[in-house]
Amino acid sequence: MADISLDNALDGDAGRTLAEDVRDGLTRAHKELPPKHLYDSRGAALFDQICELPEYYPTRTERAILERVAAELIAASGASELVELGSGSAAKTRLLLDAMAAAGTLERYVPLDVTERVVRESAAALIREYPGLRVHGLIGDFERHLGRLPPAHGPRLLAFLGGTIGNFAPTQRGRFLRTIAGLLAAGDHLLLGTDLVKDRATLEAAYNDSAGITAEFNRNILRVINRELGASFDPTAFDHVAVFDERNEWIEISLRAREAQEVALPAIALTVHFAAGEELRTQISAKFTRERVAAELAAAGLELVAWHTDARAWFGLSLARAAAA
């Protein structure tokens, strides 16, 4: 279709990075795996189900803020193209595209996601929904492939929603924000969604839903490793654990081995031992305050233009631009 172009930056090397990440993560004293491997097609579908769960407030809270302020954000940014990192099924993105269409500025949407299927499917759906819209989909890793983003056609809004920024470790997060700052030309803006610190019960419930979807999503990483690396993980032998670490202000998500076990990973010639109760960390999800967001943006050379939140101050949406040099 002429209105869609796709660029797959993962061609050829996706399997290699999984193998490297798994070797690196499972041979550490404190085992961990990078969260991007949670999102194969099944993982992406499970994540979409998480977004609908009664306990998972971030999606609906961010959506409500966007419903209220999208027109204002678009007016403030003057954007004609929307670049979205970790775009997923692009559900909330429609609110921004609607506001751009209403302002008469909408030209192009550039989603970047590791999951090929979500990029393809959202691109196809969006060109049907927005006549005249062009979509350039980039299948890739936002930690490695930002250089593959196409040159801007006009003022750009770079959106990073869903609190996904909270999934970086703090040092990576700083580096990532500096890279983003370097991508923003004069007139471009960053729209950043951050989940905010709140009471422990609300935070922990969001990652421990009663339907068990989050647990299934978390265990999906083991299925991905079994399939891609021929590993022998028994996903049912691991419990899902998600706890708010108050000192670090993040939710720590892991898989805890119910009993001692050995896991074979023939594709990387590795056997890994788990002790009973040993945890494998799959994700952190940092929670922010407005002050922290502003400080981290400033440290990266970004300045906060507008801060939007909901009545309970559960989620924050920041509009930022590169600080004057």
- Which range of residues in 6-14, 69-77, 88-96, 157-165 is near ligand TRP by CB under 6 A? 157-165
207 binds, among ligand TRP, ligand SAH, none (CB under 5 to 8 A by kind): ligand TRP
Helix (H, G, I), strand (E, B) or coil at 40: coil
**CA-based Rg of the chain, rounded to a whole angstrom?**
20
Q: Which residues pair with 281 in a beta bridge?
A: 32, 254
Examine residue 193 and tell whether it contacts ligand TRP (CB under 6 A): no
Determine whether 78 is exposed, middle or buried from the number of CB atoms within 10 Å of its CB (0-12, 13-18, 19+).
middle
Q: How many CA atoms lie within 13 A of 128 on its CB side?
A: 6
Q: Which of 217, 244, 250, 315 binds ligand TRP (CB under 6 A)?
A: 217
The distance of closest approach from Cβ of residue 192 to ligand SAH in the complex, given in angstroms and rounded to an integer, is 11
The set of residues, in sequence order, having a beta carbon less than 8 Å from that of 248 and lying 6+ positions away, is 284, 286
Q: Which residues pair with 108 in a beta bridge?
A: 81, 134
Is 93 or 214 the residue whose CB approaches ligand TRP more closely? 214
Mask: binding to ligand TRP, 233-272, rule CB under 6 A, as x and -? --------------------x-------------------
- Cα–Cα nearest to 120, from 131, 142, 135: 135
The distance of closest approach from Cβ of residue 166 to ligand TRP in the complex, given in angstroms and rounded to an integer, is 5
Q: Which tokens is 23 given?
A: 């070797």
- Cα–Cα nearest to 148, from 162, 161, 134, 137: 137
The distance of closest approach from Cβ of residue 256 to ligand SAH in the complex, given in angstroms and rounded to an integer, is 23
Site for ligand TRP in 275-294 (CB under 6 A): 283, 285
50 binds, among ligand SAH, ligand TRP, none (CB under 5 to 8 A by kind): ligand TRP
Q: Which residues bind ligand TRP (CB under 6 A)?
A: 35, 38, 50, 58, 162-164, 166-167, 207, 214, 217-218, 253, 283, 285
